[in-house]
Amino acid sequence: MLKPDYVKVAEVLSDKKSPIKLAKLNSPTAISLLRKYGVIYYPTLLFFKKGYIMEYEGKLNYDDILSWLLDNEKSQFKQLLTVPNLKNFLTIEARPLIIELTDSNKLLGDVDVNLFLLLVANDTSNEIKKTLRLTAKYFKPVVLFSTVDVTSKYCQTLVNRLRAKPKNTPTSFLLQIRNAKVQKYKPNTNDLTEKNVKEFVQNFLDNKLTPFVFSQDLPKNWNTDAIYTLVRNNYDDVTLDETKHVLVEFYKPECEVCKAFEPIYVQLSTFFKNRKDIVFAKIDLDANELDKVYVKIFPYFRLYTKSQKMGIDYGGPRTFNDFQMFIQRFCKKGLVLEESFER
């Protein structure tokens, strides 16, 4: 149990008049804050120092925790005398206020930075850069201000992840990276004035923002056609309905293969129209962000049967007959289910 050791560490730090203060967070009452900092297991010890976050990964006992804290309390002075830490210090100080992300400076993997104000634009004007510089001075080194060209072939993975399109730029995001996970925060406006940008970043630091996820608004007629329209907010409600078998197509609007498959999908929904317990649905993954759904090839298909709500991925040919056999095979009672279907 951590509590006795944690209390003892706090008492020793107090006796030493250390500037380090220990605190605790009652997790059930602070879900949003825990999500913000990527806490997924308990207990988790985070050390906040001048805008940086360090996670304690040692043994949960008095001696190890105290030693680690005291070492990190002095790190600003003593550890900077070592070659690696001196290099880190000089790297931070030498950085320009605004960095353009290219294939040669993949700063999103930089270990000493975990907060990025990222401007995604087709053409970054001098006026916008001037505004960002003024704001970047205020938040350095806690937040690294950077830009990325939405048309850059070297940064398409990042651009695609942010669903950025030339017609929707300029737009900006605050990215927090911790434990290899990225959380996005988005301002309410793309009017990048110094006041708006400063207020946005400060609101994040004051824990006034919630993570941003992509989701379309739910159409009023989402379930009136033979093929239901899903968005992030109704995805679980539909797919986890234990009275229905639900086949979902994951697609992107500009995908030519997806467009070519549409008549077959309509044909399938027509063929099974008398099976009221079978639902055909589709979701635009360009506009909707789903947890635990990772798709690399489009269109992609997953069947949620009444008794298997983890989903059965379809990997067979995209023909009417193959899909018909797949649905008939798994949408029956008393069947032993498998994790995937490939021919």
**Contact assessment for residue 117 and residue 197, using Cβ atoms and an 8 Å cutoff:** yes
Is residue 211 in some structural domain? Answer: no
Q: Is the pLDDT of residue 341 over 80?
A: no
Which position has the higher pLDDT, 314 or 70? 314
**Which uninterrupted H or E stretch holds 135?**
helix 126-139
What's residue 241's pLDDT?
95
Same domain, 114 and 189: yes
Residue 90 lies in a domain: no
**Does residue 245 share a domain with residue 316?**
yes
Same domain, yes or no, for 76 and 101?
no
Report if residue 216 sits inside a domain.
no
In this prediction, residue 233 carries a pLDDT of 92
Higher pLDDT, 271 or 162: 271
Mean pLDDT of 181-207: 86
Domain final residue pick, 175, 205, 235? 205
Flag whether 10 is in a domain: yes
Q: What mean pLDDT, rounded, does the chain reach?
A: 80
Same domain, 140 and 52: no
74 confidence band (pLDDT: 50, 70, 90): low
Q: Worst-scoring range by mean pLDDT, 95-99, 119-123, 316-320, 333-337?
A: 333-337
Question: What are 259-280's pLDDT values in tens digits?
Answer: 999 999 999 999 999 999 999 9
Residues 333 and 250 in one domain: yes
Name the pLDDT band for 125 (thresholds 50, 70, 90).
low
The number of domains in the chain is: 3
Same domain, 264 and 336: yes
199 and 282 share one domain: no
Domain of 335, CATH number, reads 3.40.30.10
Say whether pTM exceeds 0.75.
no
What's the domain range around 160? 95-205
Do 158 and 132 share a domain, yes or no? yes
Domain-located, residue 54: yes
Residue 88 forms part of a structural domain: no
CA distance 315 to 341: 6
Residue 144 pairs with which residues in a beta bridge?
116
Shared-domain flag, residues 173 and 248: no
Q: What is the rounded CA–CA span in Å between residue 81 and residue 78? A: 6
pLDDT, position 320? 96
- Is 35 in the same domain as 129? no
238 and 168, same structural domain?
no
Contact by Cβ (8 Å): 161, 213: no
Kindly state whether residue 236 falls inside one of the protein's structural domains.
yes
